[in-house]
Structure 1
Amino acid sequence: MKIIVFSYDFPPNTGGISRLTENIAKFLAKDTNLSIEVLTLDSNVPRKFPTNIKITTVSSDIKGRIFEAYKYLSSIEDKKNTLVICGLWWPEGFVAEMAGLKKVYILTHAAEIRPDKTLFRKLFWIPIFAKYVLAKAKGVIANSTFTAQLSSKLSPKASVYCNPLAVDHNIFVPILKSDKEDTFNIITITRIHLWKGLDTILEALCSLPVELRSKIRWKIGGKGPDSEILKRMVEDSPIADQVELLGFVPDEEIPKLYASADVFALCTRADEKSSNIEGFGLVFLESQSSGTPVIGTPFGGIPSAVENGNGGWLVSDVNQLRSLFQKLICKPDEIQKQGVNARNRVIKDYTWDKYIERTKKIIGI
């Protein structure tokens, strides 16, 4: 069987969808009975891929990415034995369906199927257009229980499957942490938006008793539209000299940041009035794979990535977060225990081999 991974968001791009579609292609290519092809945008940066993966590109302008892709997919003669896995419902899923492919599977991630304040998106784009595209697909593969429920609610006739994301456990590995420093090291890696709850973490840390607050060291990696707002908030806080804003962090440096911290924290909020939502939160798995327990919130798809009391904790508000910080600062043994649990949890259920195994069952190969 021929499988086409169709995604415009693909390496050399970075980000969750790019990493997801890249690993789907690479791990499916390990099966010698499958012919794997990637359909993506043209790039000036060379791509390093296994020789048994064919890379087909279309130009990046709107005409190219829509019409060239449609023309190419339409030209496939053996559509019966061609299966397409699409990174998004639009435009990839829609183009593949319009090209006459019958075995089209669409990955959903939550934010792209939620309406926002714009009337066009609220009244047509999501409830009518997205609903139609999902229903027409052979299957919809959601990255969390939350996203699966969202997909089913939007398009009741769609065949929806839940397949939680995965992490490369050979890249994100634990390291031996130093026990000499009397500090509590927190890491957060994310795109900088206030709805990611960075202000909640800052408030919780600032409200700790002085003797505990002095032990805090918080590193924040990432850039985003609210970077300057966050910078001012940190500078105006009593822990300004204990917070390090790292800005953009290269991929090769991220595993060590996770592994060297005591905990990872990201307290994303739920906003029912916008499309802003954490559909899963791959950073939580990356940290757990690195042997560092995580702190998250019970909103969106985060509970699919974080199991409370088993490699991490879920907190609903700033008061719960402050109490948890107080407990963990005073109980380093609990951090070590949960770090071991975190790594074991990833190995058991969230490696790429596990993800591809579940994917093959969904697509029937």
Structure 2
Amino acid sequence: MPERTLLITNDFPPRRGGIETFGYELAVRLARAGGVVVYTSHTAGAHGHDQRLPFPVVRDPEGTLLPTRRVARRSTGLLREHGCQRVVFGAAAPLGLLAAGLRAAGAREIVAITHGHEVWWARLPGTGALVRRIASEVDVLTYLGEFTRRELERAVPPGARSRMRRLVPGVDVDVFRPGLDGGPVRERYGLGDAPVVLCVARLVPRKGVDTLIRALTWVRVKVPDVRLLVVGEGPDGDRLRALAHWAGVADQVVFAGGHPHARLPEFYAAADVFAMPCRTRRGGLEPEGLGIVYLEAAASGLPVIAGASGGAPEAVRHGETGYVADGRNPREVADRLIALLADRGAAERMGRRGRAWMVRDWTWERTFQALEGALADGDVRGGRSSEL
């Protein structure tokens, strides 16, 4: 008999971002497989969004779910009310601290998904102890790739390391694909036939949009009509616009603002190269976990430039599907951009190889199969004692 899952997460649409996409895509597939109930935080505009979904979404009145007694009571109440046998935490820290109470309430399998922020949790003594507790109390703790696995193992107790499983985001290769019409986007933003470098990112320093703006001062020497199209919004927006004016490239940088995820394929279709040269900040405590946008760009047939931060290099095959560059070095990023924009044949070959890689290894179906495997592992271990 199919088992229903309680998905507990702060990262769910209509909020925008890679982790939000991850949560939504898993919820859709969990709903098809046996049923899902999503317990998430309050977000403006959520009511209309949630009404269109084919599964129940329960919104907490607070803007952020924390592992408080009130949230714990609500979580266990939802587990019992909806007859859920399985629990998935959309982000392990800090909500994974609810695991022990949910197990006592009847949860048989508990999986905690990690992204990027758990890396700095694992590195610091106080929060590292919380990661240790979460890893001990859940059945499976996931990791994105070798970088996040190594970092998490700083805090995960030896007995729980064998219960770690790789779970990466995916991409809908039927939605993000080559051959779409990018003309409307080019017309809307006055791009004409210019070579376009696209960056889709939240506007925060870690994403490296400022590096792209600085790199443009070199790129335009070789590719005079180049345009940088930036899709996203965030607290760094004003600084980035000022930087473009200071660098003398404001007329070649287009800030398109934020757009719903469903609108992104047309932006990829309008581009020639995708670049997000992210960099690690705050003394190593703020790396990039992976980057769904790299997967979407590759699936769309674009060559990709990723920053050498955290797990981002794992989303690109350097020299085959794109390049990994130092997000702190505008000249290095510029050289990679010039190489791709100047040799369209090489760029197209990289794009084709990236597309083939996405279709083979990075679909949401493969991601969901991995989650189902993790839940099956949890079923074997369900009800075991914690390893503190």
TM-score of the aligned structures, taking structure 1 as reference length = 0.87
SS of aligned partner of 2:254: strand
Q: Does 1:143 align with 2:149?
A: no
Long gaps (5+) in structure 2: 184-191, 378-388
Long gaps (5+) in structure 1: none
Once residues 295 and 269 of structure 1 are traced to their aligned partners in structure 2, the CA distance between those partners, rounded to angstroms, is 12
Q: Using a 3 Å threshold, how does the CA distance of structure 1 residues 131 and 62 change in structure 2: closer, same or farther?
A: same
Once residues 249 and 83 of structure 2 are traced to their aligned partners in structure 1, the CA distance between those partners, rounded to angstroms, is 61
Write the letter of the residue equivalent to 1:98.
G
- Structure 2 counterpart of 1:254: 264
- Structure 2 counterpart of 1:350: 362
Write the letter of the residue equivalent to 1:236.
W
SS of aligned partner of 2:283: coil
- Structure 2 counterpart of 1:185: 196
- The answer (yes or no) to whether the contact 1:93–1:104 under 8 Å persists in 2 is no
Once residues 80 and 214 of structure 2 are traced to their aligned partners in structure 1, the CA distance between those partners, rounded to angstroms, is 59
- Structure 1 counterpart of 2:98: 95
Q: CA deviation at 1:222?
A: 1.4
Tell me the alpha carbon deviations over residues 143-199 of structure 1, each in whole angstroms, 9 at most, x when there is no partner. 233222222222133322112210122222222678xx7632100111112232222
- Structure 2 counterpart of 1:360: 372
Once residues 242 and 287 of structure 2 are traced to their aligned partners in structure 1, the CA distance between those partners, rounded to angstroms, is 24
- The answer (yes or no) to whether the contact 1:164–1:304 under 8 Å persists in 2 is no
Write the letter of the residue equivalent to 1:156.
P
Once residues 101 and 143 of structure 2 are traced to their aligned partners in structure 1, the CA distance between those partners, rounded to angstroms, is 22
SS of aligned partner of 1:273: helix
SS of aligned partner of 1:219: strand
Q: Does 1:106 align with 2:112?
A: yes
Once residues 273 and 244 of structure 1 are traced to their aligned partners in structure 2, the CA distance between those partners, rounded to angstroms, is 31
SS of aligned partner of 2:110: strand
RMSD of Structure 2 on Structure 1 (CA) = 2.9
Once residues 298 and 280 of structure 1 are traced to their aligned partners in structure 2, the CA distance between those partners, rounded to angstroms, is 11
- Structure 2 counterpart of 1:273: 283
Once residues 18 and 63 of structure 1 are traced to their aligned partners in structure 2, the CA distance between those partners, rounded to angstroms, is 14
Q: Using a 3 Å threshold, how does the CA distance of structure 1 residues 96 and 220 change in structure 2: closer, same or farther?
A: same
- Structure 2 counterpart of 1:47: 50
Q: CA deviation at 1:230?
A: 0.8
Q: CA deviation at 1:28?
A: 2.5
- The answer (yes or no) to whether the contact 2:8–2:40 under 8 Å persists in 1 is yes
- The answer (yes or no) to whether the contact 1:189–1:220 under 8 Å persists in 2 is yes
- The answer (yes or no) to whether the contact 1:73–1:96 under 8 Å persists in 2 is no
- Structure 2 counterpart of 1:153: 154
Please say which of residues 131-140 and 255-264 is displaced more in the overlay.
131-140
Tell me the alpha carbon deviations over residues 113-134 of structure 1, each in whole angstroms, 9 at most, x when there is no partner. 4059xxxx9441x121222112
Q: CA deviation at 1:248?
A: 2.0
- The answer (yes or no) to whether the contact 1:105–1:140 under 8 Å persists in 2 is yes
Q: Using a 3 Å threshold, how does the CA distance of structure 1 residues 63 and 353 change in structure 2: closer, same or farther?
A: closer
- The answer (yes or no) to whether the contact 2:306–2:323 under 8 Å persists in 1 is yes
- Structure 1 counterpart of 2:218: 207
- Structure 2 counterpart of 1:162: 166
- Structure 2 counterpart of 1:289: 299
- The answer (yes or no) to whether the contact 1:112–1:275 under 8 Å persists in 2 is no
Aligned length: 355
Structure with bigger RCO (C-alpha 8 Å, 6+ apart): 2
- The answer (yes or no) to whether the contact 1:217–1:243 under 8 Å persists in 2 is yes
